[in-house]
């Protein structure tokens, strides 16, 4: 039927049509969820809504890995049903694509993957299809950071809602639209706030806390830790005057008091997330100011920190009440010296790298239960009762997470060359990279 041409009647707007139809839907009171959904769908189709992936962002999946060290910044995946052994040569490779320089982690969120690497004298934020590795868009974030330990970006993207937050090796902070990579807002931390660039480049990863984006800026007086409005980039608060570390901040809650913990170049600092108010500090100086491993929260009230270069580790306990928080030292040890790879907590034991030894540490005593060579300074994650361990030079192992001893289930050489980026696990797929390529392995059980 052709559209009727009538001068005396106005064509109802799409919004008006939708309102009329939805009013009818609610008046039906059929009690049928399926019927109600069908009517809503019909209503949306009548007003011209086009159901495709470009109009409607994918729902966030429970198996996403949207930021550094996973959903909770603890290196733990809640996925189950994963392979308990691998075929010779390792898990099936689903795809392998060229990448670039740098050590930025891979994140997976809402059906898309993100990472950063350097090419042709520049650093880029890359969005790719997790199913194929195909690049969807790229954003030039900065000139290439150069260093004798490897060029390129070190920081891992953080995905929150429809925004992707990134940091270049030289301190360019960007909020990008996940759909197309266009910048929503940006800051130059060095130029605007006097942010110091650590010797081996900015490696921290921005933390989303409610409507805030919290960053270890390491800036001029009073600009060590800063919080930005995550939507528009405006400065909400600034706090402390520490030199920058290489670690990523975390947020914890004890006795109803929320704290943001920042492992700066001079120690662990606790501040209030809403206003940056100082709570407490634990001095922790390391050679070359390398505090790189992410703090590990041990519920309900303990925190583990560790550094390399002969420093060791410490267990702290925080007490909180009436909107205030304090801290005391529980123990300090030369065991578990995390150079840059962070430890993982499972059943009151910590698993991580004591320099070049994969180690299981009793959190109560601070003493190791076992140690194992063969990975140099590797990295790891926990999933489904096992550790997935990536060696410094690309050997990948599946190890049972138990204090009873080192129990290896599988081991295969997957990558070549320096492989300092920790693995990423999302929806039964393991994502790995080095400084020249990125690949995806199938680790879901059949």
pLDDT tens digits in sequence order for the chain, 446 residues long: 333 333 333 334 444 443 333 333 333 333 433 334 333 333 333 333 333 333 333 445 778 999 999 999 999 999 999 999 999 999 999 999 999 999 999 999 999 999 999 999 999 999 999 999 999 999 999 999 999 999 999 999 999 999 999 999 999 999 999 999 999 999 999 999 999 999 999 999 999 999 999 999 999 899 999 999 999 999 999 999 999 999 999 999 999 999 999 999 999 999 999 999 999 999 999 999 999 999 999 999 999 999 999 999 999 999 999 999 999 999 999 999 999 999 999 999 999 999 999 999 999 999 999 999 999 999 999 999 999 999 999 999 999 999 999 999 999 999 999 999 999 999 999 999 999 999 999 999 97
279 secondary structure, DSSP code: E
What six digits make up the tokens of 193? Answer: 């706030």
Question: Could you give the angle at the alpha carbon of 178 between the alpha carbons of 175 and 182, nearest 5°?
Answer: 60
Residue 63, pLDDT score? 87
Task: Classify burial at 366, counting beta carbons within 10 Å of its beta carbon; exposed 0-12, middle 13-18, buried 19 or more.
Answer: buried
Token pair, residue 133, equals: 């590795």
User: What is the rounded CA–CA span in Å between residue 330 and residue 350?
Assistant: 16
111: left (phi over 0), alpha (psi -120 to 50) or beta: left
Residue 318 dihedral angles phi and psi, to the nearest 5°:
-110, 140
Q: Are strands 379-383 and 76-77 parallel, antiparallel or unpaired?
A: parallel
In degrees and rounded to multiples of 5, residue 101 shows phi and psi of -75, 155
> Which residues lie across from 298 on neighbouring strands?
302
What pLDDT is stored for residue 60 in this prediction?
56
Main-chain dihedrals φ then ψ at residue 100, nearest 5 degrees: -160, -170
CA-closest candidate to residue 262, choices 294, 288, 290: 294
Sheet with strand 379-383: strands edge to edge = 76-77, 379-383, 386-390, 395-400, 407-413
CA 42/CA 40 separation, integer angstroms: 5
Query: CA end-to-end span of the chain, whole Å?
Result: 52
Contact 189, 222 (CB under 8 A): no
Can you say whether residue 53 is alpha, beta or left, with left for phi > 0 and alpha for psi between -120 and 50 degrees? alpha
pLDDT value, residue 62: 74
The whole-number pLDDT of residue 12 equals 42
């Amino acid at each position: 039927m052709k559209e009727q041409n009538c001068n005396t009647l106005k064509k109802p707007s799409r919004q008006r049509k939708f309102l009329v139809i939805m009013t009818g839907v609610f008046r039906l009171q059929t009690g049928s969820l399926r019927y109600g959904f069908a009517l809503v769908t019909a209503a949306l189709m009548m007003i011209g809504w086009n159901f495709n992936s470009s109009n409607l962002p994918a729902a966030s999946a429970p198996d996403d890995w949207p930021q550094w060290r996973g959903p909770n910044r603890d290196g733990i995946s809640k996925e189950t049903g994963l392979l308990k052994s691998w075929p010779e040569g390792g898990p099936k490779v689903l795809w392998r694509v060229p990448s670039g320089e740098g050590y930025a982690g891979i994140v997976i969120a809402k059906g898309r993957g993100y990472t950063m690497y350097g090419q042709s004298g520049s650093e880029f934020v890359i969005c790719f299809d997790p199913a194929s590795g195909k690049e969807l868009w790229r954003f030039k974030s900065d000139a290439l950071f150069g260093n004798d330990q490897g060029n390129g970006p070190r920081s891992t993207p953080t995905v929150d809602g429809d925004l992707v937050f990134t940091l270049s090796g030289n301190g360019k902070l960007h909020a990008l639209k996940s759909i197309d990579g266009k910048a929503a807002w940006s800051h130059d931390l060095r130029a605007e706030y006097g942010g110091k660039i650590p010797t081996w480049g900015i490696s921290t990863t921005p933390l989303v806390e409610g409507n805030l984006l919290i960053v270890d800026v390491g800036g001029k007086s009073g600009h060590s830790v800063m919080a930005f409005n995550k939507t528009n980039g405006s400065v909400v608060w600034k706090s402390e005057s520490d030199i920058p570390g290489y670690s990523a901040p975390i947020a914890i809650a004890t006795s109803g008091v929320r704290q943001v913990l920042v492992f700066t170049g001079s120690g662990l600092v606790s501040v209030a997330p809403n206003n940056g108010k100082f709570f407490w500090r634990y001095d922790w100086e390391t050679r070359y100011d390398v505090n790189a491993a992410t703090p590990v929260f041990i519920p309900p009230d303990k925190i583990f920190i560790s550094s390399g270069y002969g420093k060791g580790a410490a267990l702290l306990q925080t007490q909180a009440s009436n909107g205030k928080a304090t801290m005391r030292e529980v123990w300090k040890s030369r065991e578990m010296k995390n150079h840059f790879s962070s430890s993982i907590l499972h059943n009151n034991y910590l698993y991580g790298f004591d320099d070049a030894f994969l180690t299981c540490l009793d959190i109560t005593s601070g003493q190791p239960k076992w140690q194992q060579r063969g990975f140099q300074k590797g990295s790891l994650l926990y999933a489904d009762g096992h550790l997935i361990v990536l060696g410094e030079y690309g050997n990948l192992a599946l190890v049972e997470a138990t204090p009873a001893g080192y129990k290896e289930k599988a081991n295969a050489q997957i990558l070549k060359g320096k492989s300092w980026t920790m693995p990423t696990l999302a929806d039964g797929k393991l994502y790995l990279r080095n400084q020249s390529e990125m690949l995806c392995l199938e680790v879901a059980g059949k």
